[in-house]
Amino acid sequence: MDKLTPLKIVPSLFAVIVPLLIWFVIPVPEGVTPNAWHLLALFIGTIIAIIGKAMPIGAVSIIAIALVALTGVTNPDKPGAALDDALSGFSNQLIWLIGFSMMISLSLSKTGLGARIGYYFISLFGKKTLGIAYALTLAETVLAPVTPSNTARGGGIIHPIMRSIADSFGSKPELQTSGKIGRYLALVNYNANPITSAMFITATAPNPLIVNLIAKGAGSQFELTWTMWAVAALLPAICSLVVMPLVIYMLYPPEITKTPDAPGFAQDKLRELGAITLSEKITLGVFLLLLLLWAGVPAMIFGATWAVNPTTTAAVGLSILLITGVLSWDDVLKNKGAWDTVVWFAALVMMATYLGKLGLIAWLSQTVGAGIGHLGMSWIGGTILLTLVYLYSHYFFASTTAHVTAMFAAFFAAGIALGAPPALLGLILAFSSSLMMSLTHYGTGTAPIIFGSGYTTLGEWWKTGFVMSVVNLLIWMVIGGFWWKWLGYW
């Protein structure tokens, strides 16, 4: 009872000192209101605490909510109204979409459906190492729309399957035999994750936040729906998913290139799972229902009155799983990741929203835009520069959410100020927010799980991540840009 878990001293000090300096020492810039500047101080302190892992992100977020309410930076004349502002993030529909979806994704692991899907694809395509790589990639893609935790998908579902395949060929880090097949499959396992995370709003937690930021930054000019996002990502994602295993194959070719026994191994695993259970059938049915409703199929067939709100759809799906007993309420309560995400998303969305309302984002975008404007660049050059800086600054972040929250709104607004089409700029930055995960072994929650399994060295991981970042950027900016133009998005 006496054991305490105190704050981490160094990041906590930075998280306190920097906001105090901004609040009390640095003069408020011309064109910025004191309230906006003070909220920026709290926001920067929150981001520093998250990056430095001073406390768990949910705990940091609760403190941020308390400070916004206590200081009254959003509404200094009415403390009650300031508290309402601080708690306003919890009313955001997109936050609950991701929370409900994370709860729903529990059924994949609980029922064994996720493992069954992975082994099934390997039984079909696993006669060669490259085939196994594509089977893992395909399984990751199939699971992506309904697993908003990319860590759970890549690290919790696909990675154990990948390890079991590598082990079956005697490719183990402890035996110094990773080069046989394990290193290659581990790199593919990880680098599929950023691509599939970019494919759907519901494929990783920060995506709904990005949708929210784009809607606020573009006004009525451009607003992404689930279907629009998925269609926009379709062509460049397919290109990336096809190219990625080949690029890694050239960088680090496996010693074992033919795997005639892999389909048999996967079939043995499927036999161990037994016949598909009722709970798996219900889960599969719920996922199909979610995809149909998220894609707007009823509205396409029967008219706009049949449209179902995406968050309502997720609530319905979770309700079905609870009613049928596939998930119990205890399962939902124990899903700390989902509840944690709801809390910290609420705090970050709230702060980002009020930074916009108080005019800070507009001022910052004009400042950044003016800086790029002095370089004499067109909006095309400015968009490329903004994207490169935005993506490669992820080397300094251990959290995709922190990165998006800290930089997305300002860079999006700066690009618009340069004259970039809001749809083109928003899509490039949105997809870059997932693609940048490839860079490091700490860039997202999936990375330390797969890197920690020991199949690759740090140098191999970083080299592959940088090469894939270049390849993916070229695909998504060039092929994606033409695709979005053809779709009429810009």
pLDDT in tens, 176-206: 898 999 999 999 999 999 999 999 998 988 8
Question: Across all residues in the chain, what is the average pLDDT?
Answer: 88
Mean pLDDT of 259-286: 89
Q: Mean pLDDT across the stretch 462-467? A: 95
For the ranges 96-105, 307-316, 441-450, the one whose mean pLDDT is highest: 307-316
Most confident segment among 93-107, 196-210, 213-227, 229-243: 229-243
At residue 40, does pLDDT exceed 60? yes
- Residue 382 in tokens: 């400015």
pLDDT computed for residue 294 by the predictor: 77
Percent of the chain with pLDDT over 90: 42
The helix or strand, by DSSP H or E, that contains position 318, with its residue range, turns out to be helix 310-324
Residue 98 pLDDT exceeds 80: no
345 CB burial (10 A radius; 0-12, 13-18, 19+)? buried
- pLDDT of the residue at 433: 95
H-run or E-run covering 236: helix 226-251
pLDDT attached to residue 316: 93
Is the model's pLDDT at 69 over the cut of 80?
A: yes
Cβ contact 403:449 at 8 Å: no
d(CA 147, CA 150): 7
User: Residue 220 has what pLDDT?
Assistant: 66
**pLDDT band of 2, cuts 50, 70, 90:** low
Q: Per-residue confidence at 158, pLDDT binned at 50, 70, 90?
A: confident
Q: Which residue has the tokens 């908003």?
A: 148
Which pTM value belongs to this model? 0.75
Mean pLDDT (whole number) for 128-156? 87
User: Which backbone phi and psi does 348 adopt, to 5 degrees?
Assistant: -70, -40
**Given this model, what pLDDT does residue 114 score?**
76
58 — pLDDT class (breaks 50, 70, 90)? confident
User: What percentage of the chain carries pLDDT values higher than 70?
Assistant: 99
- 155 secondary structure, DSSP code: I
How much is the average pLDDT of 430-439? 95
d(CA 373, CA 156): 45
pLDDT at 137: 94
Question: Does the pLDDT at position 1 exceed 50?
Answer: no
Q: Is 443 helix (H, G, I), strand (E, B) or coil?
A: coil
Confidence of residue 405 (pLDDT cuts 50, 70, 90): confident
**Rounded (5°) CA angle 132-137-141:** 145
Domain ranges across the chain: 1-86, 94-334
Least confident of 134-143, 282-291, 368-377: 368-377
Position 438 confidence tier, pLDDT thresholds 50, 70, 90: very high
